[in-house]
């Protein structure tokens, strides 16, 4: 089993949105994600393939060429969407890896579907990868793929990157299949994490749940009479965005004009606060609204001189906890506006949809303060986008210390979102910050984000992975 591609990306989602019209005609548009932007030049140079799910149920789509990439769709049945994707990925692993903010559910049927679907992704990677190819597997939905793929294709180099946190061993230990997950990941040559703490948690889990030795970041997979000793490296590679592209977009006249129009449509507030998130319980949206609501109730901020714009893009809407969260957030927004809004003026402008990138750039440019108050977040790219969009050096970033971005962005105003009083005083400090201090902070933040962009992230990961000595095809 082998293919023709020297570089293969394996991710739960394909990097395109596919539309199939009534005649069965297929059209696609590139999805806006940062991952595809970072990998597109590498895919182009190496003739890469991307293995992933189209997002639709029960649809078999033949592999096809798009934008110099070979796309290999992995089909999922409606039942697998419920068990592998909504179930095990997003109602077991997602809450468990995000500090059990909501209770993870452990169901053997979901685990079986996770096994089955991971096997399908591994097989698709194996048929597409050329001999000695580099295969890069992404995220928590596919943690078993490295080991499954290694069994099918011992000749390829395998990298895995975990985009979300890796939990402390005391939480990870709850998982009934903890050993299988660790063994799955250890099929890779390189396992990458966002923060040093994530890599450390993983290394502790390896020591706790396997008998392999670890030395620094290197794990030695024991000798076996048929197989030589193998080493796996666990290291940190904080992900980023295409900062130069957003920087350029945000400087355009069209975006500047739109930013001014947004402010005037909102009645030219003195303080415009902004939140931008997927509607997810990890993002601390309720905590943020609570803090803002109390500031308004205590008249430390007044409406309409202050306003909060909250963009909450729909996400995982079939999962119960996401439905509950939506109700809770919408109730809070209704209460706040009912109490403090007036005809034509709201305290909080809540949007449950996503926007194109130019509108987001204008919102970033318009906002005096960006509130990133995640309870737990692998990285949080919104924080980096805000900074990349602020070439005018305006705006203050309030950033949760529980977001991976906090490790790199110490010039932000860091907050603990569980501490509502603390968050309220930081919001006030941001809203009233001396512009000179704001500019100094923003300049330092921009330096970091513009230098460490997503291409830097991908290249650092791949250069470590490609330094792994090539193996022969025979074990
Ligand atoms: C996070 C995960 C990604 C996931 C994305 C959107 O960023 O790390 O793997 O693709 O959320 O979630 P969705 O479930 O819609 O793919």
| ipTM score of complex | 0.97
Closest-CA residue, ligand 1 atom 9, reads 139
* HSE, side-chain direction, 13 A CA sphere, residue 361: 23
Which of 163, 374, 377, 378 most suits a substitution to test ligand 1, by most atoms within 8 Å of the C-beta?
Answer: 163
Percent of the chain with pLDDT over 90: 88
Q: What pLDDT does 471 receive?
A: 79
Mean model confidence pLDDT for the chain: 95
Binding site membership of 13 for ligand 1 (Cβ less than 6 Å): yes
CA 333 to ligand 1 centroid distance, Å: 25
Which of 52, 55, 164, 166 most suits a substitution to test ligand 1, by most atoms within 8 Å of the C-beta?
Answer: 164
Rounded Cα distance between 458 and 324, Å, is: 36
CA 462 to ligand 1 centroid distance, Å: 22
CA 94 to ligand 1 centroid distance, Å: 10
Binding site membership of 316 for ligand 1 (Cβ less than 6 Å): yes
CA 12 to ligand 1 centroid distance, Å: 8
Whether 346 has a pLDDT exceeding 50, the answer reads yes
* HSE, side-chain direction, 13 A CA sphere, residue 374: 27
Nearest ligand 1 atom to the CA of 139 is: 9
CA 142 to ligand 1 centroid distance, Å: 12
Q: What pLDDT does 475 receive?
A: 47
Rounded Cα distance between 403 and 377, Å, is: 4
Closest-CA residue, ligand 1 atom 8, reads 163
Strand runs labelled E in 126-246: 129-138, 157-161, 190-193, 213-215, 218-221, 230-236
Closest-CA residue, ligand 1 atom 10, reads 13
Rounded Cα distance between 376 and 431, Å, is: 24
Closest-CA residue, ligand 1 atom 16, reads 13
Least confident of 54-68, 117-131, 346-360: 54-68
71: left (phi over 0), alpha (psi -120 to 50) or beta: beta
Query: If we measure between CA atoms, which residue out of 350, 447, 432 comes closest to residue 390?
Result: 447
Binding site membership of 290 for ligand 1 (Cβ less than 6 Å): no
CA 312 to ligand 1 centroid distance, Å: 14
pLDDT digits (tens, 9 = 90+) for 266-322: 999 999 999 999 999 999 999 999 999 999 999 999 999 999 999 999 999 999 999
CA 6 to ligand 1 centroid distance, Å: 26
Count other Cβ atoms within 10 Å, centred on residue 473: 11
pLDDT digits (tens, 9 = 90+) for 192-208: 999 999 999 999 999 99
Whether 474 has a pLDDT exceeding 50, the answer reads no
Closest-CA residue, ligand 1 atom 6, reads 315
Mean pLDDT of the region 33-55 = 86
Nearest ligand 1 atom to the CA of 85 is: 14
Least confident of 35-44, 169-178, 189-198: 35-44
Q: What pLDDT does 226 receive?
A: 64
Rounded Cα distance between 309 and 288, Å, is: 11
Residue 59 makes CB contacts below 8 A (sequence gap 6+) with 20, 73, 75
Rounded Cα distance between 48 and 58, Å, is: 26
Binding site membership of 164 for ligand 1 (Cβ less than 6 Å): yes
Mean pLDDT of the region 462-474 = 84
- Angle at CA 249, nearest 5°, toward 246 and 250? 85
Closest-CA residue, ligand 1 atom 14, reads 316
CA 426 to ligand 1 centroid distance, Å: 29
> Do strands 69-73 and 64-66 pair parallel, antiparallel, or not at all (unpaired)?
antiparallel
Q: Which residue has the higher pLDDT, 224 or 416?
A: 416
- Confidence band, pLDDT 50/70/90 cuts, at residue 210: very high
Q: How far are the Cα atoms of 150, 152, 227, 471, 472 from residue 475, in angstroms, in the given order? A: 11, 11, 6, 9, 7
Q: What pLDDT does 227 receive?
A: 67
Q: What is the pTM of this model?
A: 0.96
CA 34 to ligand 1 centroid distance, Å: 12
Q: What pLDDT does 470 receive?
A: 82
CA 320 to ligand 1 centroid distance, Å: 17
């Amino acid at each position: 089993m082998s293919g023709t591609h020297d570089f293969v990306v394996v991710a739960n989602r394909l990097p395109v949105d596919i539309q199939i019209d009534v005649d069965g005609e297929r059209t696609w548009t590139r999805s806006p994600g940062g991952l595809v932007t970072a990998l597109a030049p590498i895919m182009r140079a190496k003739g890469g393939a991307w293995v992933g799910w189209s997002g639709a149920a029960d649809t078999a789509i033949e592999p096809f060429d798009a934008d110099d990439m070979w796309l290999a769709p992995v089909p999922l049945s409606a039942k697998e969407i419920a068990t592998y994707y909504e179930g095990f990925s997003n109602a077991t692993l997602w809450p468990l890896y995000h500090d059990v903010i909501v209770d993870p559910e452990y169901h053997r049927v979901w685990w079986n579907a996770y096994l089955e679907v991971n096997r399908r992704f591994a097989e698709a990677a194996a048929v597409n990868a050329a001999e000695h190819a580099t295969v890069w597997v992404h995220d928590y939905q596919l943690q078993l793929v490295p080991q499954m793929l290694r069994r099918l294709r011992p000749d390829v180099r395998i990298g895995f990157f975990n985009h979300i946190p890796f939990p402390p061993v005391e939480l990870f230990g709850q998982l009934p299949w903890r050993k299988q997950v660790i063994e799955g990941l250890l099929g890779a040559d390189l396992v990458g994490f966002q923060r040093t703490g994530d890599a450390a948690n993983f290394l502790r889990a390896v020591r706790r749940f396997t008998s392999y030795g670890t030395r620094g970041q290197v794990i030695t997979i024991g000798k076996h009479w048929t197989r030589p000793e193998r080493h796996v490296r666990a290291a940190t590679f904080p992900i980023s965005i295409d900062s130069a592209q957003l920087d350029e977009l945000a400087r355009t006249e069209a975006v500047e004009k739109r930013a001014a129009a947004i402010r005037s449509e909102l009645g030219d507030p003195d303080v415009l606060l902004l939140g931008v998130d997927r509607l997810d319980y990890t993002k601390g949206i309720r905590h943020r609204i609570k803090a803002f609501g109390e500031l308004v109730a205590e008249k430390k901020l007044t409406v309409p001189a202050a306003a909060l714009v909250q963009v909450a893009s729909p996400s995982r809407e079939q999962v119960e906890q996401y439905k509950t969260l939506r109700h809770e957030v919408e109730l809070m927004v209704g209460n706040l506006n009912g109490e403090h809004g007036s005809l034509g003026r709201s305290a909080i402008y809540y949007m449950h949809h996503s926007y194109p990138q130019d509108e987001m750039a204008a919102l970033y440019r318009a906002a005096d303060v960006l509130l990133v108050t995640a309870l737990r977040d692998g990285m949080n790219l919104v924080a980096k986008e805000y900074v990349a969009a602020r070439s005018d050096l305006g705006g203050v970033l309030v950033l949760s210390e529980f977001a991976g971005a906090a490790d790199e962005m110490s010039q932000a105003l860091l907050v603990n979102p569980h501490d509502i009083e603390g968050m309220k005083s930081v919001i006030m400090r941001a809203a009233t910050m001396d512009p000179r201090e704001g500019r100094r902070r923003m300049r330092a933040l921009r330096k970091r984000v513009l230098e460490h962009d997503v291409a830097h992230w991908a290249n650092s990961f791949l250069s470590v992975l490609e330094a792994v000595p090539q193996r022969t095809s025979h074990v």
